[in-house]
Amino acid sequence: MNINNKQITLHDMCLRDGMHAKRHQISLTEMISLATALDDAGVPLIEVTHGDGLGGNSLNYGFAAHSDEEYLSAVIPLMKQARISALLLPGIGTVNHLRMAHELGVSTIRVAAQCTEADVTEQHIALSRNLGLDTVGFLMMAHMLEPGELLEQAKLMESYGANCIYCTDSAGYMLQDDVYARISALREGLKPETEIGFHGHHNLAMGVANSLTAVEAGASRIDGSAAGLGAGAGNTPLEVFNAVATRMGATTGVDVFKLMAAAEEIVVPLMDQPIRVDRDSLVLGYAGVYSSFLLHAKRAAEKYGVPSEQILLTLGQMKTVGGQEDMIEDVAINLAKGK
């Protein structure tokens, strides 16, 4: 594999996807300490939002320790070089949340949709672009579409005004060939000036390998999180990817040792549980289930006395998608009833 001299923009997910692994309870002090360390290491983009995006505070997904406004206001003014992004899922957050994030100074809005439903993002992508923001279309659960179909959805987002399109492996299900086929299709079919990104989950321990393949196929933005803090078995561990990509001759602009230090000294002590490929997260990756379901399923398993991997497998069979956390308790109740 040759990625020599490729320019890669790293995007850290600890303070958004990592919120899932922390039940959205990251404190302002912890946010500030990690964001400033990532900034100091040269990470160019850091996402700060409730795990389920702007407006994600809810009984369904969990109430965060602080509001999105509080998190963004605490972090943004302290950044020396890093830019801050916010995630928005239409159906959960609205353009009102987008305007709030813009006023607080985010540089980037990532509008996320189930990969088959790109047409729900029109008003949000258009507004973000009109506000002059770096505007990303984020196609989730991208393993569910064939490359050509994924391209059609990506083109919709591009036509609404997105300047970057992500292939998002929300279930950590993809293998390298899956990534190569999808990123290549996007690279060939989208405008040359449209950037391509890849967001991985490490449920099959493929985060780093898949991200390298994405770069080889034409992606220039890679999501990951220091020490992997993210939903499921976590995101692509960013300090590992940065070290590997640097050795392979790619340019990230991120200090290998400073990022290692942030992962080791700040993120790992933050973890409530080890972020690793345990049985449940392996089930997520194997069966193609949305990674954020993990902790909700463990909680429901405990409450109703049923195996968490059974809950996750059932959710996979039901073909649930991101956002359907409400079905976790429903499935657990049915399993407990022996249905």
Asked if residue 107 binds another protein (CB under 8 A), the reply is no
The single residue listed with the structure tokens 């289930």 is 289
**CB 320, min distance to another protein, A:** 7
What single letter denotes the amino acid at residue 278?
D
* Distance (Å, whole) CA 164 – CA 178: 20
Nearer to another protein, 2 or 59 (CB): 59
Q: Which of 164, 98, 103 is nearest to 134 (CA)?
A: 164
Sign of the four-CA dihedral 91, 293, 295, 209: negative
Q: Is 24 left (phi over 0), alpha (psi -120 to 50) or beta?
A: left
**How many residues bind another protein, per CB under 8 A?**
33
Given 91, 105, 189, 307, the residue binding another protein (CB under 8 A): 91
* Distance (Å, whole) CA 46 – CA 155: 26
Among the listed ranges 99-107, 168-176, 228-236, 313-321, the one in contact with another protein (CB under 8 A) is 313-321
Pairing of strands 9-12, 134-140: unpaired
Task: Tell whether residue 211 is among the known ligand binding residues.
Answer: no
* Distance (Å, whole) CA 54 – CA 111: 10
Given 40, 117, 255, 278, the residue binding another protein (CB under 8 A): 117
**CB 292, min distance to another protein, A:** 13
Q: What is the DSSP letter of 276?
A: S
Ranges within 144-173 binding another protein (CB under 8 A): 144
Ranges within 42-81 binding another protein (CB under 8 A): 58-60
SS3 17: helix
Among the listed ranges 12-20, 42-50, 249-257, 322-330, the one in contact with another protein (CB under 8 A) is 322-330
Nearer to another protein, 194 or 320 (CB): 320
Nearer to another protein, 70 or 149 (CB): 149
**CB 84, min distance to another protein, A:** 23
Nearer to another protein, 9 or 320 (CB): 320
Length of the chain in residues, anyone? 339
Task: Tell whether residue 281 is among the known ligand binding residues.
Answer: no
Distance, CA of 239 to chain centre: 16
Catalytic residue among 11, 20, 24, 143: 20
The single residue listed with the structure tokens 């279930």 is 171
Q: Which of 239, 268, 267, 244 is nearest to 255 (CA)?
A: 239
Nearer to another protein, 278 or 330 (CB): 330
**CB 214, min distance to another protein, A:** 23
Q: Is 20 annotated in the active site?
A: yes
Given 99, 276, 279, 319, the residue binding another protein (CB under 8 A): 319
Nearer to another protein, 118 or 215 (CB): 118
SS3 316: helix
322-332 CB burial, b ≥16 within 10 A, e <16: bbebebbbebb
User: Where is the binding site, in residues?
Assistant: 16-17, 170, 199, 201, 290
The site for another protein (CB under 8 A) is made up of: 58-60, 90-92, 94-96, 114, 116-117, 119-120, 122-124, 144, 303, 318-327, 329-330, 333-334
Catalytic amino acids? 20
